């Protein structure tokens, strides 16, 4: 749970933009997202549905269906190398080997017709050509044991439907880690699971990350999960990161009105009382088709100013590595300047 | 709230088993899924009973059996003194007016081909046509009521001719709530009404539900798997595991002083959105998964996963122990006789004796 400032940066995403062309207009699903993860660190990406958290990570894996989607800008640096420039063939050697992914729904991401052993051996042999089938099988069993599947030697010969949801998610994690990936992207890994199973899986991810030094990108909508798991958090809204800070800092000092509202609107087991009214952010998340170039949160924000309605706020560092994109944290003078510039542009 | 001691709804020993059949032509019953396996509870007017538990524990089946969407295998469900399990069609129709449901999936529970107006008006139209309303409603009155309901749940009445797909998830849930309110029900059975919604929308719907409760004096049975949501909305909470209720308590007591080992584990597993608290908390990680509900059990249903199990628990089903007037728990740890010293042989001998 500590920041690891000395560990080396494994993955760095710089100004990533992924757009989708639809009949109704261009959807800017991800619009200028930047973050980085260090070895052994867990970074959380939080946001509501449609905020672009999954598309961000599918872009990192280069799994965006194209058309309609396209990565139109930015860089994804893995150990300093931009993987967006790789050919599809080169990229295949990165996926699984270097960056691995687990998905929300463990049932649809395993092949129902093949035994777990077949699927795991295939994964290992695909990535490491010189491993024999027997070796791959032994390694698979080893991995299943590591993720806590009882009598792994026998269970590896089962089909996915013979496992429960939590067990299937364990199999997915075992597969994702079987090639010693350095980055694990976990897209809502516990959303489909029950709380007691969720606790098991999260503990497992945490343990493996500490043991193997894997960097974890955890995508979730659950602020509780983030609080327990992550070193750093990025809050996304309408395709952009609106706030980024260490977990402690973010919960102690939420500085974007959206983050603040989000934290206040979740009922809490330890403090809230029956009969209290929950704080709620009025209105709906915006439609991301043809968003105007202003702060997308302004229609729901109770502190919106003129400048919020016309110009997108710049990202400001407010100390302790805490970054926030909100006009409230910008000097009066700069705000007035931005508003004036915008008015002038409009005239021209 | 529960000082008014005449229950609105009394559920006694309710069982809902679903047959497992095999064979293609001559379907033979080879077993049963014991989705709900003998549960009893009362619901008092004006309160909110929260039901919490993991998937497959029978929460949804319970409310569906109460509203007689499934015919219960055995047991009684008394609403205002009338047993719904034995009720005829006409009595049931009348009772359904007072018992309404809100479903989890706002996308699947609204007919995509009906306009919002006809969705909300449908219950009134049906009861009006069958002459089951005290005062017949004219179509203008129905129209006015639809508009009133839409405004009450926070929908713009100008949208009444739109179709469900034109609304967002939260707005659809509001349509479902308006439909449930149309006939002025006494009790609303809400089956995971906020689970499919985003965090910021979830709090809007929770606030709406509590406002409506105050305004119309509604009684709720509220199902959720999110413990914080349950705590926020409930007066009393029932915790279910594998088709059984393991603990029923006033909400405050349940969260301050959980008794059943399962409740304790469940509460400790639920994340709290505060990194400092999270770091200091001790988690009880349960091992294993929820077992399949297709077996008849003669011991505690939680035995396989319980961190505090005793040999005695393996062959004796715990009854509900009333701890005080606010907490009831089904766990042998709270029996007056101490079972912790009993060995497996003694326990089994005792169980055999009881059976004979």
Burial group, residue A187, by CB count within 10 angstroms (0-12, 13-18, 19+):
buried
pLDDT of residue A272: 62
The percent of chain B in helix, strand and coil, each rounded to the nearest 5, is 35, 20, 40
Residue A162: domain span: 113-173
What are the distances in angstroms from CA A52 to CA A73, A233, B127, B209, B234? 15, 15, 46, 30, 34
What are the distances in angstroms from CA B64 to CA B189, B245, B324? 9, 16, 30
Which of A206, A195, A137, A146 is closest to A170 using CA atoms?
A146
Chain A CA closest to residue B250: A274
Query: What is the C-alpha separation between A73 and A334, in angstroms, rounded?
Result: 27
Q: Please give the structure tokens belonging to residue B51.
A: 């039901």
User: Taking CB atoms and an 8 Å limit, are A226 and B273 in contact across chains?
Assistant: yes
The percent of chain A in helix, strand and coil, each rounded to the nearest 5, is 35, 25, 40
Chain B residues within an 8 Å CB radius of A281:
200, 203
Q: Please give the structure tokens belonging to residue B159.
A: 């949208």
Is A232 part of a structural domain of the chain?
no
User: Taking CB atoms and an 8 Å limit, are B289 and A197 in contact across chains?
Assistant: yes
Q: Please give the structure tokens belonging to residue B78.
A: 């008394």
From the CA of A276, how many Å to the nearest CA of chain B?
Answer: 8
User: Taking CB atoms and an 8 Å limit, are A279 and B203 in contact across chains?
Assistant: yes
Q: Please give the structure tokens belonging to residue B154.
A: 């926070």
Number of domains in chain A: 1
Is A160 part of a structural domain of the chain?
yes
Burial group, residue B260, by CB count within 10 angstroms (0-12, 13-18, 19+):
buried
Query: What is the C-alpha separation between A56 and A64, in angstroms, rounded?
Result: 9
Query: What is the C-alpha separation between A39 and A80, in angstroms, rounded?
Result: 14
Give Cβ neighbours of residue A278 (< 8 Å, ≥ 6 apart).
A264, A265, A267, A272, B203, B206, B207, B232
**pLDDT tens for each residue of chain A, 348 residues long:** 444 567 889 999 999 999 998 888 888 889 999 999 998 899 999 988 888 888 998 899 888 888 888 899 899 999 888 988 888 888 888 888 888 888 877 777 888 899 999 999 988 888 877 889 999 999 899 888 877 787 888 889 989 888 877 788 888 888 887 877 889 999 888 877 778 878 888 888 888 888 888 999 999 988 888 998 999 999 999 999 999 999 999 999 999 999 999 998 888 887 766 567 888 888 888 877 777 888 999 989 988 888 898 888 999 999 888 999 999 998 888 888 888 888 888 777
User: Taking CB atoms and an 8 Å limit, are B286 and A200 in contact across chains?
Assistant: yes
Residue with tokens 């260090």: A38
Mutation target among B170, B208, B226, B232 for the A interface, most CBs of A within 10 A: B232
Is A187 part of a structural domain of the chain?
no
Query: What is the C-alpha separation between B38 and B245, in angstroms, rounded?
Result: 8
Asked if A11 and A81 count as a contact pair (C-beta separation under 8 A), the reply is: no
pLDDT of residue A274: 59
Is A139 part of a structural domain of the chain?
yes
Chain A residues within an 8 Å CB radius of B203:
265-267, 278-281
DSSP three-state, residue A136:
helix
From the CA of B227, how many Å to the nearest CA of chain A?
Answer: 7
DSSP three-state, residue B150:
helix
pLDDT of residue B4: 53
Task: Report angle CA B79, B82, B83 to the nearest 5 degrees.
Answer: 90
Chain A CA closest to residue B291: A164
Give Cβ neighbours of residue A120 (< 8 Å, ≥ 6 apart).
A136, A137, A140, A143, A144, A156, A171, A174, A175, A178
User: Taking CB atoms and an 8 Å limit, are B274 and A226 in contact across chains?
Assistant: no
User: What is the value of pTM for the model shown?
Assistant: 0.85
Chain A CA closest to residue B214: A275
Is A152 part of a structural domain of the chain?
yes
DSSP three-state, residue B246:
strand
User: Taking CB atoms and an 8 Å limit, are A269 and B290 in contact across chains?
Assistant: no
- Sign (positive or negative) of CA dihedral B161, B164, B165, B170: positive
Q: Please give the structure tokens belonging to residue B262.
A: 């399962």
Asked if B213 and B224 count as a contact pair (C-beta separation under 8 A), the reply is: no
Residue with tokens 């992924």: A18
Mutation target among A199, A226, A232 for the B interface, most CBs of B within 10 A: A199
Beta bridge partners of B36: B16
Residue with tokens 């403090």: A271
Chain B residues within an 8 Å CB radius of A195:
54, 225, 227, 266, 269-270
Name the DSSP class of A329: G
User: Taking CB atoms and an 8 Å limit, are B273 and A167 in contact across chains?
Assistant: no
Query: What is the C-alpha separation between B174 and A179, in angstroms, rounded?
Result: 47
Is A347 part of a structural domain of the chain?
no
Is A167 part of a structural domain of the chain?
yes
Q: Please give the structure tokens belonging to residue B189.
A: 């059975």
Residue A273, CA atoms < 13 Å, CB-side half-sphere: 2
Chain B residues within an 8 Å CB radius of A260:
none
For residue A281, give the nearest of B200, B210, B234 by CB distance.
Answer: B200
State the alpha helices, DSSP H only, in chain B. 59-66, 89-98, 116-129, 139-152, 169-181, 199-216, 227-233, 251-256, 261-269, 275-280, 344-355
Is A151 part of a structural domain of the chain?
yes
User: Taking CB atoms and an 8 Å limit, are B198 and A227 in contact across chains?
Assistant: no
Chain A CA closest to residue B54: A194
Beta bridge partners of A45: A219, A234
User: Taking CB atoms and an 8 Å limit, are A226 and B198 in contact across chains?
Assistant: no
User: Taking CB atoms and an 8 Å limit, are B279 and A222 in contact across chains?
Assistant: no
> Which residue positions in chain B have pLDDT lower than 70?
1-4, 356
């Amino acid at each position: 749970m500590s920041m690891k400032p000395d560990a080396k940066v494994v993955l760095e995403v710089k100004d990533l933009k992924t757009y989708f062309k639809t009949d109704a207009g261009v959807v800017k699903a991800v619009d200028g997202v930047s973050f980085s993860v260090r070895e052994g660190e867990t970074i959380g990406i939080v946001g509501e549905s449609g905020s672009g958290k999954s598309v961000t990570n599918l872009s990192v894996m280069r799994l965006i269906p194209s058309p309609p989607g396209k990565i139109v800008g930015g860089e994804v640096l893995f150990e300093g190398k931009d993987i967006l420039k790789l050919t599809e063939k080169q990229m295949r050697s990165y996926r699984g080997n270097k960056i691995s992914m687990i998905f929300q729904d463990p049932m649809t991401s395993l092949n129902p017709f093949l035994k777990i052993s077949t699927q795991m051996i295939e994964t290992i042999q695909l990535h490491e050509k010189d491993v024999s089938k027997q070796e791959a099988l032994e390694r698979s069993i080893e991995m299943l044991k590591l993720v806590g599947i009882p009598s792994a030697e026998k269970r590896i010969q089962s089909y996915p439907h013979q496992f429960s949801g939590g067990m299937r998610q364990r199999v997915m994690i075992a597969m994702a880690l079987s090639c010693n990936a350095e980055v694990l992207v976990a897209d809502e890994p516990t959303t489909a699971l029950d709380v007691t199973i969720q606790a098991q899986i999260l503990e497992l991810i945490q343990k493996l990350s500490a043991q193997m030094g894997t960097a974890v990108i955890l995508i979730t909508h659950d602020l509780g999960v983030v609080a327990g798991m992550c070193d750093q958090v990025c809050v996304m809204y309408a395709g952009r990161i609106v706030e980024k800070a260490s977990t402690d800092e973010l919960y102690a000092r939420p500085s974007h009105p959206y983050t603040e509202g989000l934290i206040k609107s979740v009922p809490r087991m330890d403090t809230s009382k029956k009969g209290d009214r929950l704080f709620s952010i009025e209105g709906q998340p915006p439609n991301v088709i043809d968003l105007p170039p202003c702060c997308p949160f302004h229609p729901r924000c109770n502190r919106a100013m003129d400048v919020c309605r016309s110009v997108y706020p710049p990202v400001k560092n407010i100390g302790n590595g805490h970054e926030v994109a909100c006009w409230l944290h910008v000097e009066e003078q700069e705000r007035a300047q931005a508003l004036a510039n915008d008015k002038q542009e409009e005239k021209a | 709230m529960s000082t008014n001691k005449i229950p609105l709804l009394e559920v006694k020993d309710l069982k809902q088993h679903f047959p497992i059949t095999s064979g293609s032509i001559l379907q033979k019953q080879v077993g049963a899924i014991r989705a709900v396996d003998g549960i009893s509870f009362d619901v008092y007017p004006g309160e909110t009973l929260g039901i919490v538990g993991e998937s497959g524990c029978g929460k949804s089946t319970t409310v569906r059996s109460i509203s007689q969407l499934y015919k219960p295998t055995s047991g009684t469900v008394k609403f205002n003194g009338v047993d719904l399990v034995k009720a005829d069609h006409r009595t049931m129709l009348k009772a359904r007016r007072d018992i309404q449901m809100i479903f989890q999936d706002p996308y699947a529970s609204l007919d995509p081909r009906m306009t919002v107006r006809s969705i909300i008006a449908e219950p009134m139209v049906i009861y009006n046509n069958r002459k089951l309303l005290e005062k017949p409603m004219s179509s203008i009155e129905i129209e006015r009521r639809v508009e009133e309901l839409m405004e009450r749940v926070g929908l713009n009445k100008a949208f009444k001719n739109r179709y469900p797909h034109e609304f967002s998830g939260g707005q659809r849930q509001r349509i479902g709530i308006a439909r449930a309110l149309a006939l002025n029900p006494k009790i609303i059975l809400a089956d995971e009404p906020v689970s499919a919604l985003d965090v910021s929308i979830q709090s809007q719907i929770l606030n709406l539900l509590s406002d409506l409760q105050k305004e119309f004096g509604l009684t709720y049975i509220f199902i959720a798997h999110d413990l914080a949501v349950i705590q926020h909305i409930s007066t009393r909470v029932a915790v279910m595991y594998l088709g059984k209720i393991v603990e029923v308590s006033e909400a405050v007591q349940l969260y301050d002083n959980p008794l059943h080992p399962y409740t304790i584990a469940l509460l400790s597993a639920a994340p709290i959105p505060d990194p400092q608290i999270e770091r200091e908390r001790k988690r009880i990680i349960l091992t294993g998964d929820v077992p399949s509900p297709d077996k008849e059990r003669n011991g505690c249903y939680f035995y396989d996963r319980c961190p505090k199990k005793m040999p005695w628990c393996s062959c004796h089903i715990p009854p509900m122990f009333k701890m005080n007037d606010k907490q009831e728990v089904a766990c042998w740890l709270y029996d007056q006789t101490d079972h912790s010293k009993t060995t497996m042989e003694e326990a089994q001998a005792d169980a055999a004796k009881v059976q004979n």
